[in-house]
Structures are given as C-alpha cells and as structure tokens.
Amino acid sequence: MDFSGLDRLFRQLAEEGFLPGAVVLVAREGEVIFQGVYGYLDPEKRLPMREDALFRVYSMTKPWVSALALSLVEEGVLSLMDPVEKYLPELGALWVGREVGAEVREEPLRAPLTVYELLRHTAGFTYGVFFASAVKRLYLEAGVDRFDLSREAFLKRLAALPLRFQPGEAFEYGLSTDVLGHLLEAATGKSLKDLLKARVFAPLGMRDSGFQAQDPARLAQPFPQDPETGRRIALIPVEAPPPRYAGGMGGVSTASDYLRFLEALRTGKGLLHPRLARLMTEDHLGPLYAEGLKRGPEYLPGPGYGFGLGVAVRLSGAGFSPGSPGEFNWAGFGGTYFFVDPALGLSALYLSQAPNLLSVLEPARALHSRLGARLQHAFRTQVYRAFTA
C-alpha cells in the first residue's frame, strides 16, 4: 500500500499554513497501517505536534453519546420509544415554529418527541449557527448554542424555543445530542462524564478521552487567526471542568483513543452487541432522504448519505469521493473527521484544530475552502487510493 499521497496532502497543508498541525491514523482490521504526525501542537510556541496530542473533537462527541444511549437501551434502562418528557419534564411543553418567511407561527406537536428522534436528529431541535432561518434566529437570540451555560440554564432556554419541524418530519442537525446527554443523566442519576467513563472509555481503554484535557501540555492549539478569513479563532476551553457536559460538542480525545472507539463500532465488540452496533451505523432516514433532497443541502448529512443513530451512513457508491455502501462517518467543527468502511475492514481519521469558519460565516465560500468538506473528501480519496496502489 502506498500512502505517499495521503502523507503529501497533510504535509503540504501544514507547510503552507492551512493546518496548524494534525495526527492521521488509518487501520485495516484493527491494525494501524499508516500514522502521520504533522505541523505544530502549538503554532505560536512552535511546539511540534505529537502522536499523543489531545484534541477538542466537538461534534465527534455525538457518536460517543449515541453509543452510550444504545448501551442503556441494550440493558433495558430506557427504550428508543420513550418520550423525552419522561426523563426531562421541563421539555414537556414543546411546540413547533412553522416558518412562513420571517414569521414563526406556533403549531402544536402531533406526536411525542422520543429518544429515537433525538438519536437520528429528526427531533426538530436546531442550531442557531449553520445556515439561517426564522427559527434559527430565535436560537441565536436566546444564546442556547453557547458552551458556558449550566445544565439548568440550557434546558430552561431550550424549553422556551420552538422546534423547527415536527418530530420525525425532517433531518435537522442541531442540539438533539445535548438533550440526549442530559436525558441519560436524568435516567441514571449520574453525570454524562461518569457514564461515558464507566461505559465507553474504561471498557475500551480510552485513557485520554473525556470532557477535560487532563494534561494541558498535550492540548493541540489552533492558529490565532483563520488563514482564510483573518477572523480570530476561539475554541471551547477544556483545561477545566465545563459548566455542563455538552454531549454534542464537549469531548476531548487522542487519535489512538478515538480509533479504539471506531473499531468497537466496526466489529461490534467491547461496547455494544453486534446487532446494536449495526443498528447505530445503518440508515434510519429512509424516505426522509428524498424529502431532504427537495429542501436542499442543509437537510442532508452530505451527497449520497443518510443518517443512522449518531453517524452519517453511505447509501450507495455515488458521491464526491470514493466509498462503499454502509460506510459511516462524522466530523467535528474544530477540524476533526473519521470514516469507517466495514466492507474493507477500514477505519481512518484525522485530528486537527483548524475550524473552517467559512462554514458558518460564508457557506458559499466554504465550498471553495481547502479545509472542511473539501479536506474530508481529499482525505478519503487518498486513503482509498492507497488501497489500490
């Protein structure tokens, strides 16, 4: 196998100042067949990147929490059919904000919001950032996306906001996994931090993963300014305990730790029963995919991808980059990405701290960025290329 193209891709991005640094891992049937360490751990201090660097993984926290939820389903602690208000009564009066231009019209829920809808992001919760709409504007104004809210403040603000869609009506990427994490806390009487440590990290030997960087000297840092926009980069603080355990964005991990998690999902060993692991990583959108195509790219995880219970799932061989039906992946805003191709026994990921600010500030320009989605596609292409070299 020839990984020279993959090595060259990340080396050039680091040398040309697009990435501060990165760690790349590729494994086949659980064996690491490529590892690359590039650039700087801290570009301001000129500290070289290290293979055991800690990274803020942002939305790559979501698959952890989703797998945790399924482990509790497996044990019968909760059911995918349970209504959310059973565990979080403060969310018992939710309503839908039907968007008519700039106006938001109130509409009652047609059916209870369930744990299942949280897992597949069809609950109706949204983010204020990423695209724009009348309901999203309300989320921004309420500041519910903020990292520095307490659990109580987060749930109180969210309870006063409308859902963007009826539960089950559309894929809407948003705060569902944050809600899921707090639901798991309420269902067990334990913190999300302790639940993940006991049920995910400890069994898999993920010693460096959690909601806090235990060794700040190993914490990877971003550039002070985004090289494409010139805007200041400010990532979430992870050197101290957070004000709440945000299941959608709060995690810290290393490349080797995260690979252990991916291998547990790929093999169905060490975390979930194989059938539960498969349930998590197969498509659950079904006909909602076609509806998402009509609405536009905002309503899909990516061209050719449906969504499982916490990860995007490839529906066919068609797309911007190579892959196999059943391949699953996800990314984090801070500059992290993974994909797993069970048909090839392949798990691959890269971790960096280079958020693509254009994806929030100017989505049209983000299409031409060397970072974000374009880097993910280039990474996938070079990984698959190595398998045919």
**Does 72-186 match 4-60+191-388 at the fold level?**
no
- At 283 the three-state DSSP class reads coil
Give the pLDDT mean for 15-23: 97
Please give the pLDDT value at position 131.
84
What six digits make up the tokens of 38?
A: 């590039």
Q: Band of the pLDDT at 17, cuts 50, 70, 90?
A: very high
Closest by CA position to 251, among listed 56, 105, 66 = 56
Give the model confidence (pLDDT) of 256-286 as tens digits: 999 999 999 999 999 999 999 999 999 999 9
**pLDDT for residue 312 is more than 60:** yes
Measuring CA to CA, how many Å separate 121 from each of 62, 187, 307, 310?
11, 20, 8, 8
Most confident residue range from 59-68, 295-304, 353-362: 59-68
Please give the pLDDT value at position 123.
97
Please give the pLDDT value at position 388.
72
Residues 6+ apart with CB under 8 A from 93: 159
Number of H helices, E strands in the chain: 14, 12
**pLDDT for residue 112 is more than 90:** yes
Please give the pLDDT value at position 59.
97
CA angle 71/74/77 to nearest 5° reads 85
**For the domain 4-60+191-388, what is the CATH code?**
3.40.710.10
59 is catalytic: yes
CATH topology of domain 72-186: Methane Monooxygenase Hydroxylase; Chain G, domain 1 (1.20.58)
Residue 147 sits at φ, ψ, to 5 deg, of -80, -25
d(CA 79, CA 245): 22
Averaged pLDDT score across all residues of the chain: 95
What six digits make up the tokens of 14?
A: 């680091």
Measuring CA to CA, how many Å separate 277 from each of 70, 268, 328?
8, 5, 12
Please give the pLDDT value at position 218.
98
Give the active site residue among 4, 59, 209, 253. 59
d(CA 51, CA 245): 26
Q: Band of the pLDDT at 301, cuts 50, 70, 90?
A: confident
What six digits make up the tokens of 358?
A: 């254009």
What six digits make up the tokens of 340?
A: 């797993």
Please give the pLDDT value at position 129.
85
d(CA 295, CA 299): 7
Give the pLDDT mean for 206-223: 97
For CA atoms 130, 131, 137, 141, the dihedral sign is positive
Q: Are 90 and 258 in contact (CB under 8 A)?
A: no
Please give the pLDDT value at position 365.
84
Q: Strand pairing partners for 103?
A: 100
| Extents of the domains making up the chain | 4-60+191-388, 72-186
Measuring CA to CA, how many Å separate 204 from each of 155, 186, 196, 260, 287?
31, 24, 11, 6, 35
Please give the pLDDT value at position 389.
56
DSSP secondary structure string, 32-71? EEEEEEEEEEETTTTEEP-TT-BEEEEGGGHHHHHHHHHH
**pLDDT for residue 297 is more than 80:** no
d(CA 332, CA 248): 10
Residue 203: is it exposed, middle or buried by C-beta count within 10 angstroms (0-12/13-18/19+)? middle
**pLDDT for residue 23 is more than 90:** yes
Q: Band of the pLDDT at 321, cuts 50, 70, 90?
A: confident
